[in-house]
Amino acid sequence: MSDFMKTSAAAVAAAEAQGATYADARFNELYTEKYGLHNGALEDASTSEQRGLGLRVLVDGAWGFAAAGGDEPGAAAELAKRAVDAARALATARRTPVELTADKLESGEYRTPVEEDPFALSLADKVDFLVAADAGLQGHESVVARDVNLGLRRERQWFAASGGVEQYQELTRCGAGVSATAAIGGVVERRSYPASFGGNYGAAGFEFVRAMDLPAHGRRVRDEAVELCSAPVCEAGERDLILMGNQLMLQIHESVGHPNELDRVCGHEVDLAGASFATTEKLGKFQYGSDIVNLVADSTAPGGLDTRGWDDDGVKSGRWHVVKDGIFNGYHTSREWGHRIGESESRGTNRAEGWYNPAIIRITNLSLMPGTWTLDDLIADTEDGVLCDTVKMWSIDQRRLNFQFTTEVGHEIKNGKKGRMVRKPTYQGNTPDFWRSCDAICNEDHWQLWGVPNCGKGNPMQVAEMSHGAAPARFRKQTFVV
> Rounded distance, CA 385 to CA 416, Å?
9
> Rounded distance, CA 462 to CA 227, Å?
38
How many Cα atoms occupy the beta-carbon half-sphere of 428 within 13 Å?
11
Considering the domain architecture, whether residues 201 and 299 belong to the same structural domain is answered as no
Considering the domain architecture, whether residues 465 and 347 belong to the same structural domain is answered as yes
What is the pLDDT, as a whole number, of residue 71? 77
Label residue 122 by pLDDT band (50, 70, 90): very high
Q: Tell me: the pLDDT tens digits for 32-46?
A: 999 999 999 999 999
Cα 478 versus chain centre, distance? 26
Considering the domain architecture, whether residues 162 and 296 belong to the same structural domain is answered as no
pLDDT of 2 higher than 80: yes
What is the pLDDT, as a whole number, of residue 40? 97
Query: What is the dihedral angle through the alpha carbons of 79, 81, 82, 86, rounded to the nearest 10 degrees?
Result: 140
Per DSSP, the chain holds a count of helices (H) and strands (E) of 10, 23
Q: Which residues pair with 467 in a beta bridge?
A: 451
Burial class (CB in 10 A: 0-12, 13-18, 19+), 140: middle
Helices 214-228 and 123-135: crossing angle in degrees, nearest 10, is 40
In this structure, what are the phi and psi dihedrals at residue 208, rounded to the nearest 5 degrees? -65, -45
CATH number assigned to the domain comprising residue 96: 3.30.2290.10
The average pLDDT across 122-141 equals 97
Q: Tell me: the pLDDT tens digits for 195-250?
A: 999 999 999 999 999 999 999 999 999 999 999 999 999 999 999 999 999 999 99
Considering the domain architecture, whether residues 241 and 223 belong to the same structural domain is answered as no
Which residue in 405, 403, 386, 384 sits closest to 394, CA to CA? 405
Considering the domain architecture, whether residues 42 and 187 belong to the same structural domain is answered as yes
- The three-class DSSP label of residue 150 is strand
**Which residues 6+ apart lie within 8 Å of 92 measured at CB?**
none
Q: Say whether the peptide bond before residue 194 is cis (omega within 30 degrees of 0).
A: yes
What is the pLDDT, as a whole number, of residue 273? 67
The average pLDDT across 275-298 equals 97
Quote the mean pLDDT of the chain. Answer: 96
Per-position b or e across 346-355, b if 16+ CB within 10 A of its CB: bbbbbbbbbb
> Rounded distance, CA 62 to CA 451, Å?
35
Considering the domain architecture, whether residues 322 and 213 belong to the same structural domain is answered as no
What is the pLDDT, as a whole number, of residue 76? 87
Which residue in 210, 191, 216 sits closest to 150, CA to CA? 210
Helix (H) or strand (E) holding 473: strand 473-481
Considering the domain architecture, whether residues 135 and 249 belong to the same structural domain is answered as no
CB 399 within 8 A of CB 258: no
> Rounded distance, CA 68 to CA 58, Å?
18
Considering the domain architecture, whether residues 252 and 369 belong to the same structural domain is answered as yes
CB 473 within 8 A of CB 456: no
Helix ranges (H only) for 154-286 are: 207-210, 214-228, 245-252, 262-265
Helix (H) or strand (E) holding 11: helix 3-17
The average pLDDT across 87-94 equals 96
Rg (CA), the chain: 24
- The three-class DSSP label of residue 8 is helix
**Which residues 6+ apart lie within 8 Å of 310 measured at CB?**
105, 108, 110, 159, 167, 169, 316, 317, 348
The average pLDDT across 145-158 equals 98
Q: Which residues pair with 193 in a beta bridge?
A: 178
Name the residue range of residue 219's domain: 3-228
> Rounded distance, CA 407 to CA 241, Å?
12
Beta strands in 341-447 (DSSP E): 350-351, 360-361, 366-368, 384-396, 402-414, 417-422, 426-430, 438-441
Considering the domain architecture, whether residues 270 and 201 belong to the same structural domain is answered as no
CB 362 within 8 A of CB 293: no
Burial class (CB in 10 A: 0-12, 13-18, 19+), 247: buried
Label residue 424 by pLDDT band (50, 70, 90): very high
Label residue 174 by pLDDT band (50, 70, 90): very high
Q: Among the three residues 228, 248, 274, which one is the final residue of a domain in this structure?
A: 228
CB 464 within 8 A of CB 362: yes
CB 259 within 8 A of CB 447: no
CB 177 within 8 A of CB 133: no
The average pLDDT across 4-21 equals 96
What is the pLDDT, as a whole number, of residue 459? 87
Considering the domain architecture, whether residues 116 and 242 belong to the same structural domain is answered as no
Q: Tell me: the pLDDT tens digits for 109-118?
A: 999 999 999 9
Count of residues making up the chain:
482
Q: Among the three residues 203, 228, 253, which one is the final residue of a domain in this structure?
A: 228
pLDDT of 1 higher than 80: no
Considering the domain architecture, whether residues 104 and 203 belong to the same structural domain is answered as yes
In this structure, what are the phi and psi dihedrals at residue 258, rounded to the nearest 5 degrees? -65, -40
Q: Among the three residues 187, 204, 228, which one is the final residue of a domain in this structure?
A: 228
The average pLDDT across 81-106 equals 96
pTM across the whole model: 0.96
Helix (H) or strand (E) holding 6: helix 3-17
> Rounded distance, CA 337 to CA 359, Å?
12
What is the pLDDT, as a whole number, of residue 269? 77
Q: Tell me: the pLDDT tens digits for 435-464?
A: 999 999 999 999 999 999 999 999 889 999
Q: Tell me: the pLDDT tens digits for 254-274?
A: 999 999 999 999 998 787 767
In sign, the C-alpha dihedral spanning 362, 275, 441, 481 is: negative
Q: What percent of the chain has pLDDT over 90?
A: 95
Considering the domain architecture, whether residues 142 and 275 belong to the same structural domain is answered as no
Q: Tell me: the pLDDT tens digits for 384-404?
A: 999 999 999 999 999 999 999
* DSSP at 233: B
Q: Say whether the peptide bond before residue 460 is cis (omega within 30 degrees of 0).
A: yes
The average pLDDT across 365-394 equals 98
CB 287: neighbour CB atoms within 10 A? 16
What is the pLDDT, as a whole number, of residue 73? 64
CB 302 within 8 A of CB 344: no
- The three-class DSSP label of residue 30 is strand
Q: Report how many domains make up the chain.
A: 2
What is the pLDDT, as a whole number, of residue 303? 98
pLDDT of 370 higher than 70: yes
